Amino acid sequence: MEELQLRQMLILATAVAMVAAAALASDKLQTLPGCTSTCGGIEIPYPFGVGNSSTQPQQPCFLEPNFDLVCNNSKLNWGDFIISSINVTAHQMDVTFYVARFCNDSENDNNPWMSTAETFTVSRTENKFGTIGCNSLGFLQSTYDNNTYGTGCATQCNGTDATIIDDGSCSGIGCCHVDIPPRMRNISISAATYKPDDGWHGCSYSFVAKRNSYNFSITHLKIFQYLELPLVLDWTVGERNCSGFERSRVEYACMNNSDCNDADTDIGYRCMCKPGYQGNPYVGCTGVAATIVILFVGATSLYLIYQKRKLNKLREKYFKQNGGSILLQQLSTRENSSRMIQIFTEEQLKKATNNFDESLIIGSGGFGTVFKGFLENNSIVAIKKSKIVDESQKEQFINEVVILSQINHRNVVKLLGCCLEREVPLLVYEFVENGTVYDFLHTQKKVNSETWKTRLRIAAEAAGALSYLHSAASMPIIHRDVKTANILLDNTYTAKVSDFGASRLVPLDQTEIATMVQGTFGYLDPEYLLTSQLTEKSDVFSFGVVLVELLTGEKPHSFGRAEEKRSLSNHFLSCLKEDHMFDVLQFGMVNEENEKEIIEVAILAARCLRLKGEERPSMKEVASKLDAIRQMEKRPWINRDQNLEETQYLLDESSSSIYERGEDSSSHQNTSYDIIRDRIPFALDNGR
């Protein structure tokens, strides 16, 4: 109801503005009541007019006889001349006027003249006088008060040689032009030739023409097709100047809100609207500035109110559309939720990111773009903005909020809040400033014993976070997109597992759930690809790839490598099987101090990469094993041969399922790659 009232008010204000605009438009066409306003599409503003008023037969439609016009066959005539426009503001009138011609043939020679009356003069600013021909003369003469004065120009050229004449330019050869003197009235134009024995037998032409209405061409020396050209007349009213009306307003033509102006006139005066007014000064000027401002301010205020209400309605719509009600309900029913998330407004996050400035982007991927943001309390946050807006993305968004809201673990990135009042929903995380493990491995390229200790600690911390998600959370959570790009590092290189957009909650009475295959190429569990049955062991396989990535420093899959090495996990297992483990480890990382730890981690990675999920360890076992490896310095050492024997046993076990299907064992190194490439359709996700 309130929105309807706002719409009605806006429509009313618009209607008033349109009426005002129509009134302003009518000012441009003002004539006396009952008088003809147009003829053949040409406007007839007062003081000009045609005949008498139809409503007051005794009232002429013109101010004085000089402004009496005739409308004949849709042509507006002023004496013998056709009018093309009348401008009451500039006090000018455009007419067509004849071209003078001289051809030594008295029957075709022409010397036109115009009787203008005292209040009309040929405009010196809007016209030029020109002559066309070789060895030609042109004259423009004016007669007033028994005196004759004028101007003219001459051309010289050989009519048989046109190469020296500039086509398109009236340079004085073949064509000349001059400015119009002031106060030219009652004009006459003539053309002539001289030196008739110089081989020139063409005609000469002279004319007054409106500026830019005529362009010279060499062809005009032979054939000049113009009989008439447009000409501009300046006009004034009355016979007095402005000072003649100081004591008497009799016969004064300037109406309401207009002033008298006689600058640059020798006879008569002009009426001009006062500043802030517009219209026809001979009928009366209207003041519109204040009205327009009031209308503009009023309409703008109503529009802004309407837009604000509309925006609020839209935000409410997006809040519901993005699952806000469901989210609040789910959060309120989470008994074990250890903290409350903050609901941010769109304006807060726009301000925090300088309207999502691209220079603040710190990461992007398949599900969204992450911006660095600065809140008003000076805290730094990471703001995730989804790229695609569809129902599946919104479901993932709400899913991530629900999952993260119940997690409180030092190695899981904290969700601080969200924004639901825009089409693209937003998540606000704690800012983890040192990039990702993927960046650490493939960008920084640091290789030494200290780096291995950091890598081992990262592995143990990430494993601990995943173990917590699988077993210690109020409801088990399967991450479903474990990879180095989703493990963040803070300034002390502490690992923080992130990006739960693809994660799934697992009811306590279930061990697996059927779902569409989703994850990142190179990390996907082959069993999950074949069955679409998601289990905790799917995360274990992906974490096994992460361990291999930490050991080798190589990307999980690369078409730039040789075919047998494209799948990192398969190549790693193949090297272990052939007792070439140290060939695949990152060069320069292994030394006497860490060799034992690296072998243990390699064995653990092999266990995680078994094809059958039931044969893989749980994340709790993986986390415990990594913690134990970090404490190996306090334990007796087990010799290398024993570990390598265990490695061979594990690899044999990993490939047993292949043999059961009757496949050759040599194909094992490419098994995962072949499944992905040839047999299983899936969606790629290269993002964080």
Name the residues annotated as catalytic.
481
Q: How far is CA 429 from the centre of its chain?
A: 29
**Cα dist from 332 to 99, 429, 626, whole Å:** 93, 20, 37
Q: How far apart are CA 682 and CA 684, in angstroms?
A: 7
**Helical H segments across 281-386, by residue range:** 289-321, 324-333, 346-352
> Strand 81-87 to strand 75-78: parallel, antiparallel, or no bridges (unpaired)?
antiparallel
| Burial per residue of 115-154, b for 16 or more beta-carbon CB atoms within 10 angstroms, e otherwise | ebeebbbbbbebbbbbbbbbbbbbbbbbbbeeeeebebbb
Which among 655, 649, 635, 666 is positioned nearest to 603, based on CA atoms? 649
Contacts of 109 (CB under 8 A, 6+ apart): 101, 102, 103
> Strand 204-210 to strand 147-155: parallel, antiparallel, or no bridges (unpaired)?
unpaired
385 is in an annotated binding site: yes
Q: How far apart are CA 548 and CA 609, in angstroms?
A: 10
Residues paired with residue 121 on neighbouring β-strands, in sequence order: 234
Which stretch of DSSP H or E encloses residue 7? helix 2-27
Contacts of 265 (CB under 8 A, 6+ apart): 236, 241
Which among 386, 384, 383, 487 is positioned nearest to 437, based on CA atoms? 487
| Burial per residue of 55-73, b for 16 or more beta-carbon CB atoms within 10 angstroms, e otherwise | eeeeebbbbbebbbbebee
Residues contributing to the annotated binding site: 385
> Which segments are annotated as binding site for ATP?
385
